[in-house]
Homo-oligomer: A and B are copies of this chain.
Amino acid sequence: MLFFDCTTAPNPRRVRMIIAEKRLEIETRELSIANGEQLSPDFLAINPRGTLPVLVTEAGQALSETVAIASYLEDLHPEPSLMGQGAEEKAAVLNWNAVIEQQGGQAIFDAFRNSHPAMKGRAIPGPADYAQIPDLAERSRQRVNAFFELLEARLQQSPFIATNRFTLADISCFVMVEFARVIKMRIPQGNPATLAWYEHICERPSASV
């Protein structure tokens, strides 16, 4: 197994947290997105979409999506479970992880990639260049505000995102919320359930990877 990481990017951080929670040792290679190393011919031969993270499985399959990497590592190392157990809980984790990715992650990434000077001409990850759209950055910031309200409503009802224990959905949400710093957005001070959840996740050793 081989993990292609990038310590400055949010999605690889989700995988590092999974690995830390499961206490695994996986051979890791660091690539620099800042230097464009994810677009080198060698890496594009592994992942033609030029995105990180990638986990190359024992059978040699290159997984580029966090949810797939999480599923694979869960099957090989079921404990501690991050993907849920039983039909209802497994569905809850996949459901909330997708909601977090779409309502939170996508909005934060779009706001960042369509406004940050370092992302000029690089509004979409991957080998092709796409121009920034300032209006999309602004609309996405409105969506991040809506996401924080969605999160507060959920965490008023549940101690963790998907179920009554820590799962992949918490990892995804924690990493997205921390990454929102790049667009200067944070959990609103008026959202006590989210702030309490955030402090709680910060205490886990995996939060510092």
Contacts and interface: CB of A to CB of B under 8 A. Distances in A.
A154 to B, nearest CB: 9
Contacts of A118: none
B69 A91 contact: yes
A178 interface: no
Given A71-B94, A94-B67, A139 B128 contact: no
A98 B61 contact: no
A103 B142 CA distance: 23
Contacts of A94: 65, 67-68, 71
B128 A49 contact: no
A120 to B, nearest CB: 14
Interface residues of A, number: 42
A133 B130 contact: no
Given A49-B99, A94-B65, A130 B124 contact: no
Contact of A72 (B90, B135, B136): B90
A121 B84 CA distance: 38
14 contacts: A48-B153, A49-B150, A57-B87, A61-B88, A63-B95, A69-B91, A71-B87, A75-B87, A75-B91, A124-B139, A130-B139, A131-B139, A133-B136, A136-B136
